Amino acid sequence: MEMISVVIIGRNEGQRLVDCIKSVQALEELTEIIYVDSDSTDDSPKRAKELGTKVIVIHPKRPTAAIGRNTGWKDATNSLILFMDGDTILDHNFLKVALPMFTDTKIAAICGHYREIYPTASIYQRVLDLDWMVPTGIVSSCGGIVLMRKSVLEEVDGYNPKLIAGEEPEMCQRIIAAGYTVHRIDQPMILHDLAIKNWSQYWQRSVRTGHAYAEISSMLAKSSLAKFYKEKAGGILWQRESKKNFIRAGAWIAILVFGLLMTIFSWLPLLLSVGLFFGLSLRTSWKNRYKSNNYFSIFLYGLHSQFQHIPIMVGQLSYYYNRWHGKRRKLIEYK
């Protein structure tokens, strides 16, 4: 069995980091553990050292997850790298299923299912837990928690350190262009603690998504591999989602503003606008009913699916605004 190196990144994770490291240490002889800390102001580095983990503290002027991951895998000694975030807990059965698959030399990366540790801690975590439920098989991208070949990371030059979000999907596009495949298997991989308990956190996370849509779709459209993405990879990553977001968010804002303005004559237009929003939300809930047996969670998921287009559009606009002014936005943190 191939040896693996575990690279954990984090910033101010506290007890979550301790739980993460302990979940990996249970793997015993299979791993070396490297924790890359992005200038925490708490005692995260100290806690990691006390658990016998190798700790690398970095002080980037513009922190990104990509910088932390690149620092970790370049320091690793084994041929397979398991990337984790400090707010996750590893499912040990994942490696039993994933490791044998690497006998196929064309497989560059494998991830599994992510779920929330505390899905009922807030209404936001209820819906975002369901967002983790995505198709399996050969996929166009993975998340930040993934098992990868170090040789492929070296070949594609790792993560783009300038990206503040979406660095994993962007790198996956380069991996696919190099002739490899990325897989998501039908197997639990990690439990995650989003720790989103209030509206502002939920909003900021969606804004970050919008920023990633805009930045990465724009960057790939101008890259030397744009033709490959269009002809061989089913299109440029997130370009379609970016356009749909502007249309849907713009439509919702226009409908609701029209309804509000018309209240000077009648409340009916506003009621119809709200009714349309709830109607489409219920339709989305029905289509995604397979994700949960809890009707309340499914209803919230429908509302989230419609509403999130607005903060995502805000994130896209913020990217284009900053690009127009020749600036790069700093890391968008939500906890």
pLDDT at 1: 57
Q: Tokens in use for 292?
A: 């949960």
Using the structure block, give the residue that is written with the tokens 């379609």: 240
Beta bridge pairs of residue 4: 31, 80
% the chain with pLDDT above 90 = 77
Q: Tokens in use for 215?
A: 């930045």
SS3 88: strand
Q: What's the whole-model pTM score? A: 0.90
% the chain with pLDDT above 70 = 99
What would the 3-class secondary structure string for 278-297 be? HHHHHHHHHHCHHHCCCHHH
Q: Tokens in use for 65?
A: 């997850």
pLDDT at 278: 94
The average pLDDT across 140-155 equals 94
Q: Is the pLDDT of residue 226 over 80?
A: yes
Helix (H), strand (E) at residue 82: strand 80-85
Banded model confidence at residue 168, pLDDT cuts 50, 70, 90: very high
What would the 3-class secondary structure string for 114-146 be? EEECCCCCCHHHHHHHHHCCCCCEEECCCCCCE
pLDDT digits (tens, 9 = 90+) for 56-70: 999 888 889 999 999
SS3 105: coil
Banded model confidence at residue 275, pLDDT cuts 50, 70, 90: very high
pLDDT digits (tens, 9 = 90+) for 21-55: 999 998 865 679 999 998 888 888 999 999 999 99
Residue extents of the structural domains in the chain? 4-197, 216-324
CATH 3.20.20.70 fits 4-197, yes or no: no
Q: Tokens in use for 44?
A: 């995260």
pLDDT at 29: 58
